Amino acid sequence: MNGLKKFGSKIRIPALSISVALLVGAIFIIFTDIEVLGGLLSDPIGALSLGIGRAAASYSALFRGAFGDPENIGKALASNGDIKLWARALRPIVESVVASVPLIFVGLGVSVAFRTGIFNIGGAGQYTMGAVGGTLAALLFGAGVTPAPIAILLVMIFGVIGGAAWAFIPGYLKARVGASEVITTIMLNFIAGQFVFFLVSNFEFIQKPPRIQPVSKELSQFVDLPGILPISALRMDISIIIALLTAVAVSWFLFRSTRGFELRAAGLNLAAAKYAGIGAGTSIITAMLISGAISGLGGALVAVGTIKQLSPGIAGSVGFTAIAIALVGGTRPSGVVATALVFGLLQHGGSLMQVETSIPIEMLLFIQALVIAFIAAPELTLGILKNPFRRRPRSVAK
Amino acid sequence: MRKKKPVAAARAKTTTAAPAKRSTSVGDGADAQQQLIASRVRAGLFALFTLLSLAITSGSVGVEGKFAFWVDKVGGTDVAFSVPVVLLWAAVTVGFGAMAALQLVRGASFRWRLAIGLVSPVLVFALLARLLDGTTANLTVFFTSTLLYTVPVGIGALAGIIAERSGFLNIAVEGKLLFGAMIGSIASSITGIAIAGPIAGAIFGALVSLFLAWLGIRYKVDQIIAGTVINIGALGVTTFAYLRILQPYSEFNRPIGITPIQIPFLSDIPVIGPILFSLSPYFYIAVGLVLFFTYMIYRTRWGLRLRAAGEQPNAAGTVGIDVVKLRYRAMLVAGLLAGFAGSYIALSGTGGFGVNTSAGKGFIALAAVIFGAWNPVYAFGAALIFGMTSAATTLLSGLGVSLPPQILLSMPYIVTIIVVAGLIGRVRAPASAGRPYDQG
């Protein structure tokens, strides 16, 4: 009972944040509906109920897209093992988990840096460079050049190297000359995108044959990550298992190893850590290398296994989402995995919502921003819960 | 985020000592050592550039670079002329050579920023001329697009400078640009009044900026996280609103464009007129704003207080300056500027607002802030240099010259990293930018 209470207090603010953000999202859906806005003056109640109905329909689509349609699940249960029906019933939830894989990786990577007191906004760039590494490895060693398991291993190693190398630059600059990692990582994100653009539009070895679009060749011809589900129509490959193993490893590293303790100490109080003999520079560089390596591993696995192609925009909004995930998850591996799954559900559910009710999936970005704001200002969040209209006395902790 | 507080406290402690050290030890100690190293690195870099341009000079004997100007008005009579490429490159070589020599001799006191500012235009010409490969480049277009690029970046940088001078790290310029662009476009479309766009954009930018300040000051949210919230939220909200309202109901996204104006008499000057005096009014306002705020920051009581709040808020508070209020006001001004800059993006071209229409200009503005060492005029100069590379890229790709544009497009980002790293010369941010202030 005590454990349950502890768990409850731990997830109270994250859960509250996400719920409030979704609620605000619903209000946003209602008040960006031109028909609702148009009817607001002549028939407010009718217009509002129309809006609420549409918001409910959108969130229902979001739910079905995330977890699966109850109707389909019912049919599958009744069918007595019809593979096709089962595949249809399970596809949404499986795809949601697949969507959370890059989020787990980058969220973990960003968390390690956060724990060390480094605000690594470069998750997107490190992920992208990991994808570059993985793609190059697949093109070089895939398609029978080396046995499949070795090729997969090389994809992972190259991804790790790509991400770590990209993270080394801001880490080194921060440690040696104190250059703000915020600025350098933002800049490196852009450079990574341009670099991929350069690669996929200038090299015959990489670019897709007619050489018109700036995308790489189909990577599935080179390396194919083995699936883990008995139904082959569902594409869930070993990258989710690697993601979970990485989470366990990060957890062990941060909370059970000496090096991890040093990083956390440096993150809590750099001056005190220095006093205790922990090298600040080494901590920063180590943290950035690990952070980049994890993000890069994710980039390589997702580029080769899930998207099966390298393109300049491969990172999408994963860098932003990862920051939200790291903060919501309390920069704790278990929290990150759980939050990444929630965001994966939202993301895949959001795509069905976009198809069915034409609510743009970009709403999720907005929701993420709100969630980050709520998490970063717990006082604000709890204030909303208590009484939004009571002015709190201005007695900030001194 | 409660866990980050000790870090902030520790940082605050270490930095209270740092500025004092810097101010007393300009001439000696580790700082001078670092400056010396930096100036040697610069000298080495310039020498390297000299050798490179020497190699290009010797390789371009007999090549002609063809340029053209519009003499009387934009799109009017054009006068073509050609320059031997070798001459341009010889000039670049001499320039870099002189810079390397002066840098080595004069050390840290050499004004290398100014020198770069003088050489880069020639360099861009020389590059253009070398790459043109027989086609003719219209320089009027090149210059005007350079100048116009500086509008959003230069004003965005100004917004960053004012906020950071007051001690509030402003990485949310990008988000405010996006909001300013969208609101500007909508306001202009609905009202049908051209001036409504910039005004609405500025006001909305100010509101967003105040929200950011409120998160950072009232709730002491880490300023970087608060800025990230704005950037993500801006991308989400504007894209959402675009796809949901502006695209299906395009009457909300048909702003009255703010077209270039012909300044009487001045625009009739041959060659210079079409380049300098036939531009969007935004450009002239931008120049005015930069000059005005340079004066304000360095020559007025407000500016002194602003800088005090950004460097030593505790000391400023002790002598009776209301740091919190000052920061809110600075953020208000920064928001007005950034929103105004954003409205330019939607109102200057055709087609109004588009998804992610600012395309990272807010981050380039941050780069300009750093490159310009938190000085509005220098930052504007940096924006001009970035604008030149962007204009060159556009020009070359329009002429079908094959050059990977990605390298040129990455230049602002690479330059920023080099500058932040202090490798070619240390720039120092306002000491307390990014730290919450406790009014005890």
Closest CB to B232: pick one of A202, A365, A376. Answer: A365
Q: What interhelical angle do B376-398 and B361-371 show, nearest 10?
A: 130
Q: Are strands B64-70 and B78-84 parallel, antiparallel or unpaired?
A: antiparallel
| Residue A245 located in a structural domain | yes
| Residue B21: per-residue pLDDT | 35
Task: Please state, in angstroms and rounded to a whole number, the distance separating the CA atoms of residues A207 and A195.
Answer: 13
The CB density around residue B265, as the number of other CB atoms within 10 Å, is 9
CB contact under 8 A, A28 and B360: no
**SS3 per residue for chain B:** CHHHHHHHHHHHHHHHHHHHHHHHCCCCHHHHHHHHHHHHHHHHHHHHHHHHHHHHHHHCCCCEEEEEEECCCCCCCEEEEEEEHHHHHHHHHHHHHHHHHHHHHHHHHCCHHHHHHHHHHHHHHHHHHHHHCCCEEEHHHHHHHHHHHHHHHHHHHHHHHHHHHCCCCCCCHHHHHHHHHHHHHHHHHHHCCCCHHHHHHHHHHHHHHHHHHHHHHHCCCCHHHHHHHHHHHHHHHHHHHHHHHHCCCHHHHCCCCCCCCCCCCHHHCCCHHHHHCCCCHHHHHHHHHHHHHHHHHHHCHHHHHHHHHHHCHHHHHHCCCCHHHHHHHHHHHHHHHHHHHHHHHHHHCCCCCCCCCCCCHHHHHHHHHHHCCCCHHHHHHHHHHHHHHHHHHHHHHHCCCCCCHHHHHHHHHHHHHHHHHCCCCCCCCCCCCCCCCCCC
Q: Are strands B64-70 and B136-138 parallel, antiparallel or unpaired?
A: parallel
Shortest Cα distance from B220 to chain A (angstroms)? 8
Give the type of residue at A312: P
DSSP A221: G
Chain A with chain B: Cβ pairs closer than 8 A: 169
CB contact under 8 A, A360 and B237: no
| Residue B338: per-residue pLDDT | 95
| Residue A192 located in a structural domain | yes
Average pLDDT over residues B241-262: 83
- Confidence band, pLDDT 50/70/90 cuts, at residue B141: confident
CB contact under 8 A, A363 and B236: yes
| Residue A384: per-residue pLDDT | 63
Place of tokens 């810097």: B22
| Residue A316 located in a structural domain | yes
- Confidence band, pLDDT 50/70/90 cuts, at residue B178: very high
C-alpha distances (whole Å) from B315 to each of A122, B168, B312, B318 are 35, 17, 5, 5
| Top-confidence residue, B108 or B262 | B262
Q: Angle CA(B15)–CA(A255)–CA(A166) in degrees, nearest 5?
A: 60
Task: Please state, in angstroms and rounded to a whole number, the distance separating the CA atoms of residues B172 and B345.
Answer: 16
Shortest Cα distance from B403 to chain A (angstroms)? 10
CB contact under 8 A, B414 and A267: no
Res. B27: pLDDT tops 60: no
Residues 6+ apart with CB under 8 A from B418: B424
Name the CATH topology of B139-440.
Answer: ABC transporter involved in vitamin B12 uptake, BtuC (1.10.3470)
Series of mean pLDDT values for 10-residue runs along chain A (398 residues): 70 82 88 80 83 88 88 83 82 91 94 90 93 93 82 94 95 83 88 90 82 82 83 83 94 90 85 82 91 95 90 86 87 91 90 87 87 80 57 44
For A288, the token pair is 């950035």
| Residue A300 located in a structural domain | yes
Task: Please state, in angstroms and rounded to a whole number, the distance separating the CA atoms of residues A332 and B105.
Answer: 54
| B266-325 pLDDT, tens digit each | 777 777 777 778 788 888 999 999 999 999 999 999 999 999 988 888 888 888 888 999
Closest CB to A377: pick one of B221, B243, B409. Answer: B221
Shortest Cα distance from A338 to chain B (angstroms)? 18
| Residue B9: per-residue pLDDT | 42
Place of tokens 């409030």: A20
Shortest Cα distance from A73 to chain B (angstroms)? 32
Mean pLDDT, rounded, of chain B: 80
At residue A237, the 3 state secondary structure works out as: strand
Res. B11: pLDDT tops 50: no
Q: What is the CATH number of the domain that holds A287?
A: 1.10.3470
CB contact under 8 A, B438 and A398: yes
| Top-confidence residue, A239 or B58 | A239
- A318 contacts A303 by C-beta, under 8 angstroms: no
Shortest Cα distance from A228 to chain B (angstroms)? 34
| Residue A119 located in a structural domain | yes
CB contact under 8 A, A187 and B413: yes
Closest CB to A271: pick one of B14, B249, B414. Answer: B14
Res. B235: pLDDT tops 60: yes
Shortest Cα distance from B52 to chain A (angstroms)? 23
In this structure, of A269-283, B73-87, B153-167, B343-357, the range with the lowest mean pLDDT score is B73-87
| Residue B422: per-residue pLDDT | 65
| Residue A2: per-residue pLDDT | 66
- Confidence band, pLDDT 50/70/90 cuts, at residue B1: very low
| Residue A106: per-residue pLDDT | 95
Q: What is the dihedral of CA A387, A391, A396, B4, to 10 degrees?
A: 40
Q: What's the N-to-C CA distance of chain B in angstroms?
A: 22
CB contact under 8 A, A187 and B416: yes
Res. B24: pLDDT tops 70: no
Q: Could you tell me which residues are beta bridge partners of residue B138? A: B68
Which of A13, A190, A323 is best to mutate for the B interface (most B CBs within 10 A)? Answer: A190
Q: Angle CA(B17)–CA(B18)–CA(B23) in degrees, nearest 5?
A: 105
CB contact under 8 A, B229 and A379: no
Shortest Cα distance from A141 to chain B (angstroms)? 27
| Residue B86: per-residue pLDDT | 82
| Residue A294 located in a structural domain | yes
CB contact under 8 A, A365 and B239: yes
Domain ranges of chain B: 30-134, 139-440
- Domain that includes residue A298, residue range: 95-359
| Residue A23 located in a structural domain | no
Shortest Cα distance from B242 to chain A (angstroms)? 9
Q: Which residues of chain A are within 8 Å of residue B232 when distances are taken between CB atoms?
A: 317, 320, 323-324, 365-366, 368-369, 372
Q: How many domains does chain A have?
A: 1
Task: Please state, in angstroms and rounded to a whole number, the distance separating the CA atoms of residues B102 and B108.
Answer: 10
Among B82, B171, B183, which residue's Cα sits nearest to residue B133? B82
Res. B237: pLDDT tops 70: yes
| A369-395 pLDDT, tens digit each | 888 888 887 777 666 655 444 444 444
- B227 contacts B334 by C-beta, under 8 angstroms: no
CB contact under 8 A, B1 and A327: yes
Please give the residue of chain B at the shortest CA–CA distance from A174: B421
Q: What interhelical angle do B112-132 and B376-398 show, nearest 10?
A: 10
| Residue A298: per-residue pLDDT | 95
Which of B420, B423, B437, B439 is best to mutate for the A interface (most A CBs within 10 A)? Answer: B420
Task: Please state, in angstroms and rounded to a whole number, the distance separating the CA atoms of residues A309 and B346.
Answer: 33
CB contact under 8 A, B219 and A327: no
Beginning with the edge strand found earlier in the chain, give each strand of the sheet holding B136-138 in spatial order: B78-84, B64-70, B136-138
Please give the residue of chain B at the shortest CA–CA distance from A185: B417
Q: Which residues of chain B are within 8 Å of residue A268 when distances are taken between CB atoms?
A: 3, 6-7
| Residue A109: per-residue pLDDT | 94
| Residue A13 located in a structural domain | no
pTM score, two decimals?
0.84
| Residue A163: per-residue pLDDT | 95
